[in-house]
Amino acid sequence: MTTINLVLRIANTALMIGIPILAALWIFRRGKEGFRPIWIGAAAFVLSQVGHIPFNQYLMMPVLESWGIQASAQSGVSLLVLGVAAGLSAGLFEEITRYLIFRTWLKGSPGELLPVKYGIGHGGVEAFLLGLVTLVALTQVLVLGGENALLSFSSEEVALVKSQLEVYWSVPWQYSLLGAWERVSAMAFHLGASLMVYKSVRQKNILWLVVAILGHTVLNAFAVVGIQKLNVVLLEGVLFLFGFGFLFWGWRIREKDPLEKDQEPPLPPPVQLSASQITSEHLEESRYD
């Protein structure tokens, strides 16, 4: 363990936890919706995982294993199918949950920033929770690496812990911030997906929900396959471009609030001119004596 490695590990954890908090604090006063869509987005992500995680564990993976595809697949068709299945599962559960929330819980508060706030809550709570997991792991590593920390362990357990500590600190320091970078990319994607799903609800056009599901599938599938085939920096770079590209697309086609749409100012009402017949009596009355 080097000082710079430790500092960057701490920074990575702080960014994963801090970025969603700062984003929420920055935007919650903007627009007319307040903080409500943010916490609803956070709750919706958790609700989606209540179904998503058991589905993967008790249905998707047993089916894949019956086809000879293991969760540890590292190449070939098995890896591709695993990636697509995992991505589609995440896309269906998260995007359909997003769609239902916009149709029910947030139905009565339309606004241009509503899906943005929801997206910050949805993607932000994921980053926050993963940041907490990273913090716990870092804390455990520091505690177990302390002097006399392993005195109560057996020799086999000491050897195992030391090997795990070596693996943890063997990651090059320049990779230490990749966790935070990945969460920024994921949050950007969630913002774009929220804009598209919101448009689907407002326009009653299921096409944009399908686009969000397919985008989620592609993103997650590429991550599963890419981690086995690509350099990790290149992988995170592609995910970053995809996430912000999806956000840019979502913002360009976003559903605007009727009061916020660009409209030409109305023309003033036409002036009605009336001409009356001028008689000799009118001329006589208008003379100055």
Span 164-184, pLDDT tens digits: 888 898 888 889 999 999 999
Supply the pLDDT for residue 263: 46
pTM for the model stands at 0.86
Q: pLDDT tens for residues 218-247?
A: 999 999 999 999 999 999 999 999 999 999
| Res 262: pLDDT | 46
What is the predicted pLDDT for the residue at 8? 94
Q: What is the distance between the alpha carbons of residues 63 and 86, in angstroms, rounded to a whole number?
A: 12
Residue linked to tokens 């809550």: 121
Could you say which residues of the chain have pLDDT below 50?
A: 260, 262-264, 273, 275, 278, 282-283, 285-289
pLDDT of res. 259: 52
User: What local confidence, expressed as pLDDT, does residue 170 receive?
Assistant: 87
Structure confidence at residue 279 (pLDDT): 54
